[in-house]
Structure 1
Amino acid sequence: MNRRHFLYSLAAVPVLAVAGIELASRRFIPEADILLAKLEGLKGQQLHSSGSWSPTMVFQHLAQSVMGSVTGYPEHKAAWFTHTLGPLALKVFKTAGAMQHPLDEAIPGMPELDANLPVETALDQLISALQLFQQSTLLQPHFAYGSLSQNDFMAAHQLHIEQHLTQIGVG
């Protein structure tokens, strides 16, 4: 193999990897109704958190995230990020069927979480935010992933919520 063929082959690897992630990410189908039913099932339960945020703080954070897609996020990552790495990260999460991010990291610029807000109130806010999102036709760019379709936004919300729910226990 000569040098030129080697360089072409080397350049093809990331292109093929990104293409593979793009195709595989399309297999993830968000299930808003199942997610809403899961959240409804938490109502009236004694909930606890294995993380640094209490259940009320987790639900408030998730409601802020969903509402940001409808009303806008106060702060955004740099444009180069929201046009390159951000969308790629979402595609990787969709491909994996799971999101991985720090579970006590606030959304930039969002109001501080209220540790004293009743859990039921915060859970109702999250459910209401998801229902409003489902009815919305004009969505705002995500602070890290940039402009998304309704389906991709729902996928991002579902993966985000599901990761946080791993810290919420019943009983």
Structure 2
Amino acid sequence: MNRRNFLAATTLALTGDFVMADLPKVGSLDDALRWLDSLDKAAGVKTTGQWPMVSVLEHMAQSVEMSLDGFPQPKSALFQNTAGAAAFAFFKWRGQMSHSLSEPIPGAAALHREGDWRPASARLRAAIERFTRHQGPLKPHFAYGALGKADFALAHAFHIANHQDEIVVQAR
């Protein structure tokens, strides 16, 4: 967690009865489903980042959906096969991703900025379940290029875990 998010989470914890989620870090898509279960049971959920919960969850759902349906604005094949592939290899080696938590997927539909986050949580859950059941080829990632299913599942888990850093839950 970066300093800004730590300070924001600490302020929430002191003033609004919110605490950093005492949940294991997402390391797989099964973990992500269990994490969504925990969010759904929480008294309240907020982000310490620039996006509201609904946007964060929609963004994660879009990423999983696009691995099945295609990314609208992929980077060039040269980028995917060089910098993009190197970035994913580094994240895989490190065991985690770090990226801008307020940067939308290029060309993706606009994210909702207001509203209940629970439908977005259900959308992410449905996207993960659809991805898990999927048997056919996957679409290339807009930056990393072609990934096998195991690597794409890992990329999705890393992506969700990175956003998990900015989520706090209300203590019951």
TM bucket (normalised to shorter chain) is 0.7 to 0.9
- Inter-partner Cα distance in structure 2 for 1:49 and 1:31: 21
* Rg larger for: 1
Q: CA deviation at 1:116?
A: 2.5
Once the two structures are superposed, the pairs formed by residues 27-66 of structure 1 within 5 Å of their partners are: 31-45=28-42, 46-66=44-64
- Inter-partner Cα distance in structure 1 for 2:163 and 2:36: 12
What per-residue deviation string (whole Å, max 9, x for no partner) do you get for residues 117-167 of structure 1? 421100110011011011112211110011100000001000000000110
Conserved? CA contact 2:52–2:114, under 8 Å? no
Identity of aligned residues (%): 37
Question: What TM-score does the superposition give when structure 1 sets the normalisation length?
Answer: 0.80
Residue type of the alignment partner of 1:72: G
Give the secondary structure class of the aligned counterpart of 1:83.
helix
- Inter-partner Cα distance in structure 1 for 2:50 and 2:158: 20
RMSD across aligned C-alpha pairs, in angstroms?
A: 1.1
Segments of 4+ moved more than 2 angstroms: none
Higher relative contact order (CA 8 A, sep 6+): 2
- Residue in 2 aligned with 1:152? 151
Unaligned runs of 5+ in 2: 1-26
- Residue in 1 aligned with 2:140? 141
Instruction: State which of 89, 95, 103 in structure 2 corresponds to 1:97.
Output: 95
Question: What TM-score does the superposition give when structure 2 sets the normalisation length?
Answer: 0.80
Aligned residues: 142
What per-residue deviation string (whole Å, max 9, x for no partner) do you get for residues 30-54 of structure 1? 6221221112211042101100001
Conserved? CA contact 1:47–1:55, under 8 Å? yes
Conserved? CA contact 1:44–1:120, under 8 Å? no
- Residue in 1 aligned with 2:119? 121
- Inter-partner Cα distance in structure 1 for 2:114 and 2:52: 10
- Inter-partner Cα distance in structure 2 for 1:34 and 1:60: 18
Unaligned runs of 5+ in 1: 1-29
What per-residue deviation string (whole Å, max 9, x for no partner) do you get for residues 77-108 of structure 1? 11101111111111101111111111000000
